[in-house]
């Protein structure tokens, strides 16, 4: 085996897999719609939130508009992500009573209702918001 190739193999196998927490986090708030599952008379919606700010978010909350498969607004609900440590990922689940997961077509972040942290300018969470979805549902701003 060639020395350079052998070194690359050793490094690749010894470092182990990269995790999301190992990557630098962009300043802002990242929210991923991770999963949607029926349960307990409604729909369980799972989010992954990442605080990319250099300060703790004492409270982060988002007002979301939920649309059905035809595009009609089903309801507007505020989801409280509570405290988020800087650079930390946090999984949160919300049970939405009476919501049919199979008929959920889109989740829209309508507004940021709380973004409390030392030194954060008003509007910082909305300005630095990044959304993504692993579910088969459109999610964004």
Domain of 66, CATH number, reads 2.60.40
For residue 137, what is the DSSP state? S
On whether residue 72 sits in a domain, the answer given is yes
Query: pLDDT digits over 81-100, tens only?
Result: 999 999 989 999 999 999 99
On whether residue 13 sits in a domain, the answer given is no
CA distance 4 to 77: 56
On whether residue 2 sits in a domain, the answer given is no
On whether residue 37 sits in a domain, the answer given is yes
On whether residue 1 sits in a domain, the answer given is no
CA distance 64 to 129: 14
On whether residue 15 sits in a domain, the answer given is no
Closest CA to 43 of 4, 94, 108: 94
Query: pLDDT digits over 10-59, tens only?
Result: 333 333 333 444 444 568 999 999 999 998 889 999 999 999 999 999 99
| C-beta separation of 97 from 75 below 8 A | no
On whether residue 88 sits in a domain, the answer given is yes
Q: How many domains does the chain have?
A: 1
Looking at residue 9, what is its pLDDT?
Answer: 34
Q: Tell me the residue range of the domain where 103 lies.
A: 22-140
Higher pLDDT, 109 or 39: 109
On whether residue 109 sits in a domain, the answer given is yes
Neighbouring CB atoms inside 10 A of 93's CB total: 12
């Amino acid at each position: 085996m060639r020395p350079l190739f052998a070194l690359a193999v050793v490094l690749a196998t010894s470092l182990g897999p990269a995790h999301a927490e190992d990557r630098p986090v962009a300043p802002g708030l990242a929210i991923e719609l991770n999963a949607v599952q029926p349960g307990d008379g409604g729909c369980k919606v799972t989010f992954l939130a990442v605080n990319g700010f250099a300060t703790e978010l004492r409270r982060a909350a988002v007002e979301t508009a939920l649309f059905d498969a035809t595009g009609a607004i089903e309801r507007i609900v505020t989801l409280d992500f509570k405290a988020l440590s800087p650079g930390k990922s946090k999984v949160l689940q919300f049970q939405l009573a009476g919501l049919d997961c199979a008929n959920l077509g889109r989740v829209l972040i309508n507004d940021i209702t709380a973004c409390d942290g030392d030194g954060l300018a008003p509007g910082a969470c909305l300005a630095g918001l990044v959304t993504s979805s692993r579910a088969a549902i459109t999610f964004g701003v």
